[in-house]
Structure 1
Amino acid sequence: MKKVKSVMQWGKIILPLSSIRYYPPQFTLRNPLIEGVSNAFEAGYEVAVIVFKLRNQKDFMEQTEVKQQSKLVKTLKKLFQIVVEQVVNPKEVITLHDYYGEGITLLITVDHDRHSISNIDLMMKKITEEVAQRFVKLYPSMYPTFEEGYMFVEKHDYSIQDSILRAHRQAIGMAEKRVQLEINEMLLAINKIITKKNITLFAQPIIDVATSEIRAWELLTRGPKGTVLEAPLQLFSVARQTGRLYELEMIVLEKMLQQVKASRCRQDIFVNCTPLTLGNIRFTSDLKKLLHKYRGISPKQITFEVTERDSIEGLKNFSFNINVLRLMGFKIAVDDTGAGYSSLNTITELMPDIIKIDRSVIENIDKNSVKESMLKGLLLVAREAGSLVVAEGIENQEEASVLTRNNVDLAQGNFYAPPTRFYEEIAT
């Protein structure tokens, strides 16, 4: 039987659906694509390049006659079109490419204040699972499996086109786990950061709405200044895809304890931690070792923020570890409430000490009565759960006034103060 070179030679062009723009597979970046990425940057967003590659293409080739292969390829392409349109918010899609021999590539805008790394992982998994399920209904003897990878387009390159091309190559490398120079450089970079503990902590105050006093600080992580991994989204995405996320988050916690002790800070500290780390079987014992190393810091001073966008389903040790943390004296916060996939499930399962309301609810709340009603509903949920409420992302006096008239407990945002280096801020 005559075989084609690769089932992943997807053809020349994907026909557009109504809400997504598509471009030809040749890797010459047309002006509309560059314009889309530029517009995303100007609006303050990141851009992620996501690659889906067929893992079991050899099986497809061996099971399929040449004349049927073309039909299978067209079916896969069409299913990606349909599923992407259903799974991804059309406003976030820049383009869906059909690059010759390089699988399906999706470019989306990412708001680092609203999206988490898990958010992207869940989206990729949902797309590939839905495509596979739809495909097997049409061809019961074949079940496609995919490798996925993603990378963020570097904002500060001289050429946006070169930056998109580089991110695309890196995303392919992540999908294929290829040993190539640029991926090796990423691995070396994240390994160096972890070995040297080369991160910087920034802090943003959390304000008592009634008294305007600083009640706590939320810590924010940055990678080495001036590098691709300086931005937290890139830093944590590379760490996650290279299997170094747990180590990176433990370094964040160690540096946090180190700087709290050095600054003699007595205010509460909020620190983000992914469910993957909180559910790690080693987490509580490793945390106890850190507390022993930095004696004198009370766990009652520390609040772990669990992002509501991250699923806690299927994490074997997560609930057990949360209970241990509470017994030790730590507080638990649910972050990004009102913006995530998991809705209020995380709140009902954790019964957190603090509920942090995402800025998507707060933004322009003074001009939107529906958003204020949402705020009131979340405040009612918090009261029932016995939780304090922190409103995030306050940008102006008008938004702050809505919090005051609704008796919100705490707030943070650039209206009160932007993030600054943690040790320097606390020391003053």
Structure 2
Amino acid sequence: MVHHYIKRFKPVGNWGKLMLPLNKIKYFPPQFIIRDPVAEGVDLVLKQGFEVAVAVFNFKNWQDLSEQLGELSFRQFIKNIKEIFLAVIQRELEDNQIIIVHDHYSDGLALILKVDPGRDCVTEIDQTLKKIVKEAEKYIHNDTPHIRPVIDAGYMFVEKKYYSSVQEAVYKAHQHALAMAEKRVRSEFNEMMYKINKIVAKKDIKMLAQPIINVATGEVKAWEMLTRGPSGTSLESPLQLFTIARQTGSLYDLELIVLEKTLEQITKTGCTQDIFINFTPITIGNERFVRDVKKMLTGYKNIPPEQITLEITERDPIEGIENFIYNIKVLRTLGFRVAVDDTGAGYASLNSISEIMPDIIKIDRSVIKGIDTNRVKESMLKGLLLVAKEAGSLVVAEGIESEGEASVLSRNNVDLAQGYFYARPDTLTKSLKSS
């Protein structure tokens, strides 16, 4: 046995060093809790600016062991295992990392940790949990070599802002951690969720600007704002960044941060030209979107809504997004203009044109690429120009990379264009100086 490792902790006021006796606290869904010391401890740590992770050690073969040992021996075995885990946890972690350890309503233990957001905590938590399980299994085997419990671990970060109470946030994190321990979710998803939540919390994105050129005069008419994630990370790529944001439920928050960062840059640079900002249909259709945009604009009274074009991105159909068309109408009455992106790339964008009747149609790069050597593509361009004329929309051709492609736009009287042929994306400050 490992009794020389074990200390009995009693509840104290300092939550940073609290570990409750395992037989003193049970975990219940939040609706049944009147005063929840777990939630109180978590809330205090979150207010101090730390992250909180719920880790679960799940014993998969409890039922088999119960049948093997009999009721009385099994109860003693459970007690011994929990004492071993408690001892190993105390040895492997610093006191100020542990918020609480307790039995939970399924087969195993829950460990709630204070995590320093400045460290690579996802990797560290993975390694720590694996080490705790490995060490505990070693002591269990030494103590009872003929009994082999199967132990899995999982974890999830507590995300208070997505829930109505700390209790609910802890409960949801516990459910996700248990699902991970039972191999119903992968650890990679947890890592993605942590990274994207960290980006959203710190607003850790960079905005670049690419000019939109008047094809006839060569003058800069507007700027499209493009998002990049933290430099040097896998999420620097906008495709990866927004894909993971969508998968982890952070897309709306991320796109609102893009708007905020853009408004900051317009104010900082004094830019008076039109600005295009990308939004997905699901964000524009969010019932909070109009209210949140109006609220944000109150802090930027120098920026008229008429300067902003909401560029509807993605090749998703807009059908079924409840508030989408209504929100578009309201935003237009406020002065915003609307552009439809990816036109020519599929049914979704073409259908959006008939539903929205946008101010601007952006023709997808797939139509433009190699158009100077492909008559079919030029015919497609002419067809889209007719659609734009019927809708009363200006046209922007995207992804121009050669003089030949640009010349086709000129002879077909395309209004506007953008692409590497004209300029690569850069900060709005540098772009304005070079334009």
User: The TM-score by the shorter chain falls in which range?
Assistant: 0.5 to 0.7
Instruction: Supply the AA of the counterpart residue of 1:195.
Output: A
Could you say which residue in structure 2 is the equivalent of 1:395?
401
Measured on the aligned residues, the alpha-carbon RMSD in Å equals: 1.8
Asked if 1:367 corresponds to 2:373, the answer is: yes
Q: Give the number of aligned pairs.
A: 255
SS in 2 for 1:293: coil
Deviations along 1:47-99, one digit per CA (max 9) or x if unpaired, are: xxxxxxxxxxxxxxxxxxxxxxxxxxxxxxxxxxxxxxxxxxxxxxxxxxxxx
Deviation string 1:317-346 (CA, Å, 9 cap, x unpaired) is: 000100011000000001010002325211
Q: CA deviation at 1:422?
A: 2.7
2-structure distance, mates of 1:298, 1:231: 30
Query: Is it true that 1:377 corresponds to 2:386 in the alignment?
Result: no
Deviations 1:124-167 (A, max 9, x none): xxxxxxxxxxxxxxxxxxxxxxxxxxxxxxxxxxxxxxxxxxxx
1:426 and 2:432 equivalent?
Answer: yes
| Higher CA-based Rg | 2
Aligned counterparts, 1:18-417, within 5 A: 178=184, 180-307=186-313, 309-417=315-423
User: Given that residues 193 and 199 in structure 1 are in contact (C-alpha distance below 8 angstroms), is that contact kept between their aligned partners in structure 2?
Assistant: yes
Q: Structure 1's 178 and 217: CA in aligned 2 closer, same or farther, altered over 3 A?
A: farther
Counterparts of 2:259 and 2:367, CA distance in 1: 29
* Equivalent pair of 1:263/1:427 in contact (CA under 8 Å): no
Give the superposition deviation at 1:246: 0.3
Rounded Cα–Cα distance in structure 1 between residues aligned with 2:187 and 2:297? 39
Match of 2:65 in 1: none
Q: Which runs of 5+ in 2 are unaligned?
A: 1-178
> C-alpha distance in 2, partners of 1:384/1:308?
23
**Is contact 1:310–1:340 with CA below 8 Å preserved after alignment?**
no
* Structure 1 CA distance for aligned equivalents of residues 308 and 298 of structure 2: 15
Post-superposition offset of 1:180? 4.9
TM-score (norm 2): 0.57
C-alpha displacement of 1:294: 1.5
SS at match of 1:217: strand
Q: Percent identity?
A: 67
> How far does the alpha carbon of each residue in 1:345-381 deviate from its partner, in whole angstroms, 9 at most, with x for none?
1101100000000011111111111111111111111
For 2:349 and 2:324, the matched residues in 1 are separated by 18
Distance in structure 2 (CA, Å) of the matches to 1:238 and 1:321: 25
Shift of 1:425: 2.3
Q: Deviations over 1:250-282 (max 9, x none)?
A: 000000111111111000001110000000000
Name the SS for the 1:333 alignment partner. Answer: strand
Please, what TM-score do these two structures have when normalized by structure 1?
Answer: 0.58
**Which residue matches 1:113?**
none
1:218–1:370 distance in 2 versus 1, CA, 3 Å = same
Question: How many angstroms does 1:178 deviate by?
Answer: 4.6
Amino acid at match of 1:186: M
CA distance in 1 between partners of 2:337 and 2:184 (Å): 42
C-alpha distance after superposition, 1:158-203 (max 9, x if no partner): xxxxxxxxxxxxxxx99x9955543322222111100110000111
Give the whole-Å Cα distance in 1 for the aligned partners of 2:183 and 2:327: 32
Paired residue type of 1:389: V
Distance in 1, matches of 2:399 and 2:183, equals: 37
> CA shift at 1:295, angstroms?
1.6
Assess if the C-alpha contact under 8 Å between 1:338 and 1:357 holds in 2: yes
